[in-house]
Structure 1
Amino acid sequence: MTIPTILIFDLLGVFVFALSGALAAARKDMDIFGYVVLALLPAIGGGTVRDLILNTSVFWIDQSIYVVVAAIAGVLVFFFSVRVGQRYNVLKWADALGLSLFCVMGASKAYAMTSDPVIAVTLGVVTAVVGGILRDVVCNEIPLILKREIYAIAAITGSTVYCIASALALPELWSLFIGGVCAFTVRALAIIYHWSLPTGR
């Protein structure tokens, strides 16, 4: 039996976001249980909120493989963690990849259920950012989305591009790929060139 390509995309997003959570646990010198908990928060948090809003069954309850993959990522980071000085940098890039995957997967599910692009974009952003917020709050840090960094804008971009591609009747995988690439490009450029949103005076 072959694994559906969309499920692979979804699991990749879970794994990468789980890595970002486990790396945050490494920065806080947590034990192995802390690594697994912090891996689970960004990996399944946003999707859980999305599914509750859509009033549908929560994805990881239907398929426990998501929890298993996230837990494995947490354990891997515990035993093979990167050097202390590199952790935040690796966390940001893992988070950027997870953001780009989750925003389009979240938008895809919402668009399929509602056919409303506004709801799809909104829940694409929710899927991408809520888990990271939970991770950062537990770590007693200001969530990335509330800092000056270009973060939610990247998720909005990816979700919007996905909806446009879907409206143009592009194949689903192409819509996901194009939207995800756009989201990652925006976030990557923001990291490399230190782009940020203006703050109030």
Structure 2
Amino acid sequence: MEINRTCPKKHELKLYNNPNKKCYKCNGCKEYGNNGMRYRCDDCNYDLHKDCMFSKPTTTHEIFKDFVFKFYEQPPPSKLYGKRTKRYCNACGKHVKGFIYHCPEKDLDLHPCCLNLMKEFQIDHVKFHLRGTKAKCIFCNQIDLSGIEVWSYVSECGEYNVHVSCIRELIVDELENGTTDILALKNLGLPIQRRLKRNGWMGKCA
């Protein structure tokens, strides 16, 4: 069952469409939102991603399909180091600061938005699929982030790999530079395509 949230003062959050489609920081997971729609309390200046607004007590993900994740409003302490240890999302590799899905059995963590990432996208007739992989990212030339194996979008042929965090940073950069139509799925591929070509993408799989 999904949990329908309010702001800390118990005001109802209303669906809000930002006409300028600028970035905002979610008060739940503390990560930036890069779409124009969120749930908001104007009186308290409080915003939540859709995925943070409608959290579930427990859930699963196909990449970690054998394990159950529990929702926490604050990152749970490490079994080894207590609260002193930072937690990092096993999808994007970023520091966990707020709302999180945590698997106690395997000590795994996922941001709510990372849990609900799109499963695939297509560029130049080539599909990229969401995977957990140890291949090097064509954007940042790294394999692991924050010392952990993270998720990537991998081309059908397996030759091209892009970290989900690198795509997120690209979207934020485009929005901050005034690109207002990137949020449409058909337009999302354009800046990704440009970056891929700068890094050796030939427009097709081998």
TM, length-normalised to structure 2: 0.29
Larger Rg: 2
The structure in which a higher percent of residues are helix is 1
The structure in which a higher percent of residues are strand is 2
TM, length-normalised to structure 1: 0.30
